[in-house]
């Protein structure tokens, strides 16, 4: 099976690449060579498959990245900084739409999308048209809209999509978070290697 990983050079993406090694033919997509510097000191160089650089907000770049694969794992995410920055919308929303649209056009077997616990009501109540998580941050809004996008594409075209909703992603093997901070006692931690395994098993 051939699988493309979007956001492959990221904190979760690198763990997904490790998990897929020897089990899938891998195409790794990220924005450029500099993306691979972020966790090189932790994960080393990656040469386990094909590397593609491009802008996830560019439909044709995404279309080409998906061409010839069976499955898609979408881990790409942009965390909000400057309120004037358009990247949260371009990467988180336009990027995901590109992935879903190209996937359904090309008959992809399955898409796994990394959502967020930001879409889960704190009291464990399922969302409906009346129930929302009381979080108006741009990140939470983007993750909510991503999930609605997945639902809409699935209902419109029947594209098989799995959405996983992790909380804070850490590396329990190294005892650090994505910012290399030591782990403190708290709830809601999920190891990136466990989440990577869940991504593979969901395909």
Question: How many CB atoms within 10 Å of residue 98?
Answer: 23
Each residue of 101-150: pLDDT tens digit? Answer: 999 999 999 999 999 876 666 666 665 656 666 777 888 889 989 999 99
* Contact assessment for residue 113 and residue 74, using Cβ atoms and an 8 Å cutoff: yes
Each residue of 28-56: pLDDT tens digit? Answer: 999 999 999 999 999 999 999 999 999 99
* Contact assessment for residue 94 and residue 186, using Cβ atoms and an 8 Å cutoff: no
At 107, list the tokens.
Answer: 């008959």
Instruction: Spell out the residues 6+ positions from residue 38 whose beta carbon is closer than 8 angstroms to its own.
Output: 9, 10, 11
Residues 33-50 as b/e (b if ≥16 CB within 10 A, e otherwise) read: eebbebbeeebeebeebe
pTM, to two decimals? 0.93
Q: Which CATH number fits domain 2-202: 3.50.50.60, 3.30.420.40, 3.40.50.720, 3.40.50.360?
A: 3.40.50.720
Domain ranges of the chain: 2-202
pLDDT over 90 at 81, yes or no = no
Instruction: Quote the mean pLDDT of the chain.
Output: 93
Instruction: Give the Cα separation of 7 and 29 in Å (integer).
Output: 6
- What per-residue confidence (pLDDT) applies to 129? 56
């Amino acid at each position: 099976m051939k699988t493309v990983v979007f956001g492959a050079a990221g904190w979760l993406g690198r763990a997904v690449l490790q998990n897929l090694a020897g089990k899938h033919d891998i195409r790794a997509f990220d924005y450029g060579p500099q993306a691979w510097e972020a966790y090189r000191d932790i994960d080393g160089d990656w040469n386990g498959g094909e590397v593609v650089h491009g802008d996830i907000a560019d439909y044709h770049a995404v279309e080409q990245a998906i061409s010839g694969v069976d499955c898609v794992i979408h881990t790409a995410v942009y965390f909000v900084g400057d309120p004037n920055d358009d990247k949260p919308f371009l990467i988180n929303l336009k990027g995901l739409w590109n992935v879903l649209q190209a996937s359904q056009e090309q008959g992809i077997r399955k898409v796994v999308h990394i959502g967020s616990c930001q879409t889960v009501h704190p009291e464990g109540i399922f969302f409906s048209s009346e129930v929302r998580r009381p979080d108006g941050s741009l990140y939470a809004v983007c993750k909510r809209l991503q999930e609605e996008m997945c639902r809409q594409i699935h209902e419109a075209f029947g594209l098989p999509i799995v959405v996983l909703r992790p909380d804070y992603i850490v590396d329990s093997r190294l005892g650090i978070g994505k910012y290399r901070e030591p782990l403190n006692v708290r709830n809601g931690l999920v190891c990136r290697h466990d989440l990577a395994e869940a991504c593979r098993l969901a395909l």
